[in-house]
Amino acid sequence: MNLPELTARLHAIRDGNQWKRFHSPKNLAMAASVEMAELVEIFQWLSEDESRQLPADKLAHAGQEVGDIVLYLLLLCSELGLDMEQVVRAKLADSERRFGQ
């Protein structure tokens, strides 16, 4: 995944629609949270087994919501001046240190 390329494409959409004024870190974090709630809603009331065996339409919907979440997080990292790959790698290294591997 080429994160700089994806971020540039997101910025082109944002700038073409004049949405930058709405893309404060607060708003982007809230938008990512809303999308996460939409992902959670797909699994609401399902059993553990059902959640692992989604029908094709629900699986596609889950993928769309995951995409929305990742894109909002890319925009949030951009606004905060964070390198997403770097922060993810740092967090993974911390988890490996704390929990083994």
Residue ranges of the domains in the chain? 3-99
Per residue in 49-92, pLDDT (tens digit) is 999 999 999 999 999 999 999 999 999 999 999 999 999 999 99
- Cα angle, residue 30 at apex, residues 29 and 33 outer, rounded to 5°: 90
Q: What is the pLDDT of residue 80?
A: 98
Per residue in 58-70, pLDDT (tens digit) is 999 999 999 999 9
According to CATH, the topology of domain 3-99 is Helix Hairpins (1.10.287)
Give the separation between CA 91 and CA 97, rounded to whole angstroms. Answer: 10
